[in-house]
Amino acid sequence: MVPCIVRTLRPLAHTQGPQVPPEKPLTASSTATLSEGTAAPYTPVRTARSTTLPLRTLPYHVLQWGQPQLGTPPLVMVHGWMDVAASYQFVVDALSSERWVIAPDWRGFGRTPAGGADCFWFPDYLADLDALLDHVSPDAPVDLVGHSMGGNVVMLYAGIRPDRIRTLVNLEGFGLPATRPAQAPTRYAQWLDELKALRQGDKDLKTYASQEAVAQRLQKTNPRLTADKALWLAGQWAAPDAQGQWRILGEAGHKLVNPQLYRVEEVLAVYQRISAPVLAVEASHNQMAKWWQNRYTLDEYHERLTSVSQVSVATVDDAGHMLHHDQPEAVASLIEGHLERHVTAV
């Protein structure tokens, strides 16, 4: 078992529902043939069911594992930027007990359409999550997990709707560097320029010749990802077009800069309202220095977390940012241990 360390941060002083209808099982890819001699893709232990829910104005693609259990709310898992719901398959397979797990493709990712949008806003993710929870668990708080961008979403949601969350696990959802009001004019101008570039096709996502080529791209980004998992993920992360080229299942508009500045004071005000116990999980190979060039550090993130009344921090060894791919057993164990420590009978 991969070792992980859990520690508790000292806080700052500061003032069952409708079943989602099953549709079709999730398979290794939306096509079918791999090149001769290619290693076999990962075989899921627990089969996901692909479903579509009408959430707000969109037909939302949602994966489900397991079945609703009387007295136990769903475990809802939301993915990060340029990822898909199926990314959680390895963690679901590593859970020690059966659980009704729900994972959506965010709008404009995977098999959830963008609804014609050419850019994407955090408030929409919050509203989409709110609509999803109203559908799957209208009368009981849920256990919520988010990775990266999804981790940022769930941290905000838990402070905005504290009564809807029973426990929270944040996988490397660090937030963003602090900003200054003086940055606003330049940021808006950058956004407008990037919208023009998007319309001109300059932001188009790269295509790939085959599922294997997509898998190689995933392994280049994450060297810890094994070949079988990479090949399986490639079939969820991309799909072939009419010309046989494999296209990433994500909208290019997600690449645009957010025109709204990240206001740390607002984020901390939200964090102070979180009532659920939070487990913040980090990878031993922390990449914040690479991403932000010392404009935002792990120590700053930990300082922000002290605004949360109940928070512990865990580190997963031999893992990078995609820790749910690198060490799914360790991540699953941390999630289940967090639940065991904090959940009382519903």
Query: How many angstroms separate the CA atoms of 124 and 319, rounded?
Result: 30
Q: pTM for this structure? A: 0.89
Segment-wise mean pLDDT, segments of 10 residues, the chain, 346 residues:
48 34 47 56 96 97 96 96 97 97 98 95 97 96 98 98 98 97 98 97 96 97 96 97 96 96 97 98 93 93 97 97 98 97 69
Q: What pLDDT is attached to residue 14?
A: 31
Sheet of 142-147, strand order? 4-8, 311-316, 278-283, 165-171, 142-147, 75-78, 101-104, 58-65, 49-55, 24-25
Alpha helices in the chain (DSSP H): 89-94, 122-136, 149-160, 184-199, 211-221, 227-237, 264-271, 288-292, 298-305, 323-326, 328-342
The pLDDT value given to residue 343: 86
| pLDDT for 32 | 39
Domain architecture of the chain: domains with CATH: 4-178+262-342 (3.40.50.1820)
**Alpha helices per DSSP H over 18-137:** 89-94, 122-136
Give the pLDDT of residue 37: 57
Angle between helices 264-271 and 149-160 (to 10 degrees): 60
Count Cα atoms within 13 angstroms, Cβ side, for 167. 21
How many C-beta atoms surround the C-beta of residue 54 within 10 A? Answer: 10
Residue 178 carries which side chain, given as an amino acid letter?
Answer: A
Cα–Cα distance between 124 and 122 in angstroms, integer? 5
Q: Which two tokens stand for residue 334?
A: 């941390």
